[in-house]
Structure 1
Amino acid sequence: MASLTVTDEQVRGNPAKVIQPAWVRVMHWINALAMILMILSGWQIYNASPLFAFTFPREYTLGGWLGGGLLWHFAAMWLLMINGLAYLVTGFATGRFAKKLFPITPSGVLHDVRAALTFKLGHDDLTVYNYVQRLLYAGIILVGVLIVLTGLGMWKPVQLYYLVALFGDYPTARYIHFFCMAAICAFLVVHVVLALLVPKSLRAMIIGR
């Protein structure tokens, strides 16, 4: 005899669906914490030897001085590297990346950009990423890999000379590292704004459903 137990979701005709599995949620928030720590401590390090004619406000830096900024930066670096690597391996192994991020086509991106600019881009199905989301998420993964490689080369330029050589030289690696940081900051701003505009996506990243 079939069970007569009916959940609230079934009564409403809207069965609960897992949008973000537990491993995604945990690694997402760890990555977010690591990125924020690295950005703030990185600004402290930048201020000690600016690349451009500006410095970051002291109240938005972490570490208090160059040595403190370096300690925070290296600690967050290991957290980001280990968690980021686990995220990449799990994302590819489970097929999540193949399902969520690909394919990415120029025509699809242009179509969704036009839809977004005219406020016609829907967010009804959170299980499917639109082409703009696919491009941004795939791009930020590449930026993350690039910022780690340039950071390692800057950290150990003698021992890891081949990483420095990969980017040309040490000054060039610094510039690439800086612009990757700027790209991550821009991504975080857009990411937070979209989460506020579509609050159910934030809810899914917290409780999964």
Structure 2
Amino acid sequence: MTPPDHPLPSPQTRRRIIHPLLVRATHWINAFAIVCMVMSGWAIYNASPLFGFDFPRWATLGGWLGGAIAWHLAAMWLLVVNGLIYLCYGVLGGHFRRHFLPLHPRDLLRDIKHALTFKLAHQAGIYNAVQRLMYIGVLLLGVLVVASGLSIWKPVQLDGLVDLFGGYDIARRVHFVAMAGIVAFVVVHLALVLIVPSTLLPMLTGRAPRHTHKNAAEQEQQA
């Protein structure tokens, strides 16, 4: 048997950029700011609990009420500035349109079913419907947590914003619920990273492998 004129193409691994530098930078800055805000926020909560429980001291930041408020405000401005940069890039640069839209109910129900049966496929750089919903949701929660936080920080100066939430006490509860939603997102996000650890490296390097095959015509051109 004579060998074929062209051998079978061998797979080659190329690397493609799936997370631009700005997305990676804002992601990690947001992660740091959110951790600081949540832990310091829990310390502030413990000084005047809304519900019948306290957060453990080891999970708080600031040491005392004044220190916790200082950490909370510093992290808030970091989160706001960094978040605005990300939002401007996402809207003006088309990042949100390319990765988070469209979001169809049929696709969402299908991917939820696959996720519950551990059959949800993952491809680097492509967001499934569940991920799109989660990212859109956490962006909206971020806006809500900042707005409610400003209203309880400056209730006199921002009385119109306080009235929009239905009063100071309700604004505090909205702030707590929005914070809880963000924490839930982080927990699910970390769980998915543990299940699919290959998603972590691209968020550090920005690149993911792409397997391709060279056809015979390409091999002839390079010969």
Separation of aligned partners in 1, 2:17 and 2:198: 12
Separation of aligned partners in 2, 1:137 and 1:66: 32
Unmatched runs of 5 consecutive residues or more in structure 1: 1-10
Corresponding position of 1:57: 56
Shift of 1:12: 4.4
Q: Which one of the candidate residues 176, 187, 190 is aligned to 1:189? A: 187
Count of aligned pairs? 198
Runs of 4+ in 1 over 4 A off after TM superposition: none
Helix, strand or coil: the match of 1:72? helix
CA offsets 1:47-106 (integer angstroms, 9 cap, x no match): 000000000001110011111100000000000000001100011111010010011121
Structure 2 residue identity aligned to 1:93: L
Unmatched runs of 5 consecutive residues or more in structure 2: 1-9, 208-223
Corresponding position of 1:140: 138
Separation of aligned partners in 1, 2:11 and 2:62: 52
Separation of aligned partners in 2, 1:207 and 1:128: 17
Helix, strand or coil: the match of 1:13? strand
Separation of aligned partners in 2, 1:150 and 1:185: 16
Residues 41-190 of structure 1 mapped to structure 2, 5 A cutoff: 41-123=40-122, 125-190=123-188
Separation of aligned partners in 2, 1:199 and 1:12: 23
Helix, strand or coil: the match of 1:80? helix
Q: Which has the higher strand share?
A: 2
CA offsets 1:164-199 (integer angstroms, 9 cap, x no match): 111110000000000011111111010011011111
Q: Percent identity of the aligned residues? A: 55
Structure 1 length-normalised TM: 0.93
Separation of aligned partners in 2, 1:114 and 1:23: 33
Measured on the aligned residues, the alpha-carbon RMSD in Å equals: 0.9
Separation of aligned partners in 2, 1:17 and 1:195: 20
Shift of 1:119: 1.3
Structure 2 length-normalised TM: 0.87
Helix, strand or coil: the match of 1:110? helix
Larger-gyration structure (1/2):
2
